[in-house]
Structure 1
Amino acid sequence: MPFMFCDINFQCHYATRDDKTYWLSTISTRAEIPPSPVQGTDVLRFISRCVVCEVPSTVMAFHSQGPDIPDCPLPTRDHRWESIWEGFSFFMHTAAGEGSGQIFSSPGSCLERFRPAPFIECHGARGTCGFFANKFSFWLASVPRNYNPDQNRDPYEPQDGPCEEMIRTQQARTEMERMVGRCRVCMLINDEIEASIRETGPLLPGVYDPRQPLG
């Protein structure tokens, strides 16, 4: 539990209520979900790790609301956009009547890998973490390329189904997997920013480097 709370009586408490926190998880398949809540150091292998990076410019996510990965915005006379990564459009999560969402312009709304159970719930008072039946992840949905509402009187209503094959290959196989919206994260580049990158070098390994030819 990463926080404590204080009341108007100037009393502070830690993990004494039904406080919950949510963390990105490492779970990819149903077989990896523990049969019961875990605690202590056993929790660590289920919590995803991260790194904080500095970039010299604005970074934004762009969503296609379709099965195709969108391009970065077209260049203008003053600037252009360079791709950093592509992924799947993550909308929000809910659990036990609580939830939180993503700002769609935020890179956090474009996850590189699709996982139906992308987070783990931890309980402060119990000191345990687990995956529960009332937890849901929400992703932007798309419709097939060949579906034309002007030619189809009936609305598009896909059949519910599994989303398991895409977890391993990140390639859509089932109808529901093809409905997961795609996205791309791009960084704004202008002459001043490009000159700065040329002088200092790329700040992120594998990310846009103006000293190397694109592609």
Structure 2
Amino acid sequence: MKYFSILLLAISLYSCKEDKKEIKEEPKSINGTSDQKTQSDSVSLNVTQPAEVKNETLEDDGQDEVMLEKDILFNGKLKRIFELKDFEKVFGKADSTKLMSETQPCTYIFEDTGDGKNDKYLYKNESCFENTEQKVGVNEFWFLNGNYILYKGIKIDGSSTIDDIKKIFPNSVKNISELDSPGRGKVQLIRLREDKENISDGHINIYFKNNRVQSIHWWFPC
């Protein structure tokens, strides 16, 4: 009887040991599944992320690309609309000015602001700015005397070539046109859209002279 009790005790201890072993092995299976899922998620992200970046920068439908104002910094400091006090800080004193009432443009940046009586153009190094009260907006910007823009952190200046711009706006460069422009001579031109939904009737022109970026102009129909 004593021997039988010892035998039962041994069997019971062995059974408990096996149960504990099985319990220990179970988390390994969960971790394995989790690891596999993590690896799978990582692969999925690596595959889909470039496609998302591509959609943000390229137009697969062949349309000209979009250039948003918010993505541009003039001379690395100013948005397209900025304070008058910052004009001289960044560009220096205006070479000349002209009241808009003298030219009577059919449309301009601040046409819905104030009465417009004292609105004027500011000219600096061929660039044209529009001014109303304490606000200034860029109408046309020439890449002269060190002028440049940062577009999404990419510097574009007077040394930038058509091939350089093609890396950013391939469709627009593919659709490049050539024209004889008063005061410019023979130039090449690409157009960029102002928004993805094509709400704006206007567009952005980038001019090239001798294969180099010359100026950028916001064009809007009358």
- For this structure pair, what is the TM-score category when the shorter chain's length is used for normalisation? under 0.3
Q: When the two structures are superposed, what TM-score results if normalisation uses the length of structure 2?
A: 0.21
Greater helix content: 2
